[in-house]
Amino acid sequence: MPSWLKRPLPTGNGNAFTQNLLTDLKLETVCENARCPNRPECWSRRTATFMILGNVCTRPCSFCSVPKGEPLHIEDDEPSRVAEACVRLGLKHVVITSVTRDDLPDGGADHFARCVLAVRERLPQAAVEVLTPDFMGNNAAIDRVTDVSPDVFNHNMETVPRLYRVARGRAEYRRSLDLLDRVKQRAPHVVTKAGLMLGIGETIDELFEVLADLRSVQCDVITMGQYLAPTLKHSIPVARYVPPEEFDSIAARTRLLGFRKVVAGPFVRSSYHADDMVTA
């Protein structure tokens, strides 16, 4: 990998503290399951992105390392355990994501809502961000999560439409746009957010067509980071490593489209320094 994708590991005991806490409360994180390159840094800062509804996904997205297969049963006490973890970590900005649960009638929307409410009960001053799947376009499910008023409603577009079949399996580009549109129409006060991976094979023109589409549905925050294949077994190779200066150039051009916040760089991920992404 190029030099800009290499960095030293953090020091201190924060990483171990976070690991032990998550083990104690039997909680999953996208940090581990998606093999995020930022995990050591984030855990050393005593923050993590909680992954609810089990650790087995019903979608076969080829860019992701989260296990696929027969999903696990829903744990009714998971919302309270997530809230307890937030209290122990002293979080001021909580990010909750999940595997995709196409096996559930509501895609897990009610469980998402319960987790948001549980965190709010224990940490009323904390901001809560959800990073949801598309719920198969189920409007009632989208509304269930929207109506508990998360501070941020995040849904990743991941890549350009031409690469959806290769990268995102059963996802649909228009369905994802419509989700963000519905959230903003139903709750204009909720910050909407989306993320994209660069370096899969998209062109710059395709990228900016997606960015224009996101602004057309009033998406507030956009994150763009380098795609890194989680393992050598993943079927989507890295097509290109985007240099940091090119990320800077793309970000500058993207800001002209009117996003409230644009965050772009090789290590940027949807929930990386998420608290900074939504500050004015």
Predicted local confidence at residue 169, as pLDDT: 76
- Residue 101, SS3? coil
Measured in degrees and rounded to the nearest 5, phi and psi for residue 128 equal -120, 125
Enter the tokens of residue 203.
């062109």
Enter the tokens of residue 124.
């009323």
Polymer length of the chain? 280
Q: pLDDT at residue 280 above 60?
A: no
The band of 59, judged by pLDDT with boundaries at 50, 70 and 90, is confident
Q: What is the DSSP letter of 15?
A: H
The mean pLDDT value for 55-81 works out to 80
The residue ranges of DSSP E strands in 155-210, in sequence order, are: 191-198
* Residue among 101, 100, 96, 98 nearest 120 (CA): 96
More confident residue, 280 or 252: 252
Predicted local confidence at residue 242, as pLDDT: 96
Three-point CA angle 159, 39, 245, nearest 5°? 50
To the nearest 10 degrees (0 to 180), the angle between helices 244-255 and 204-216 is: 40
The structural domains of the chain, ordered by start, are 3-277 (3.20.20.70)
Predicted local confidence at residue 13, as pLDDT: 63
The mean pLDDT value for 39-43 works out to 78
Sequence-distant (6+) residues with CB within 8 A of 128 are: 94, 96, 116, 119, 120, 150, 151, 152
Enter the tokens of residue 102.
């196409």
- For the stretch 10-30, pLDDT in tens is 666 667 888 899 999 999 887
* Residue among 85, 77, 167, 146 nearest 119 (CA): 85
* Dihedral (CA of 195, 271, 112, 217) sign: negative
| CA 126/CA 233 separation, integer angstroms | 39
Cα end-to-end distance, the chain, whole Å = 34
| CA 253/CA 114 separation, integer angstroms | 39
Q: What is the pTM of this model?
A: 0.92
C-alpha distances in angstroms, 244 versus 4, 239, 248, 272? 8, 16, 6, 17
Place of tokens 């076969």: 60
Answer yes or no: are the C-beta atoms of 65 and 230 closer than 8 Å.
Answer: yes
Predicted local confidence at residue 65, as pLDDT: 64
Report the greatest alpha carbon distance in the chain. 47
Q: pLDDT at residue 124 above 60?
A: yes
| CA 182/CA 139 separation, integer angstroms | 8
- For the stretch 237-272, pLDDT in tens is 899 999 999 999 999 999 999 999 999 999 998 887
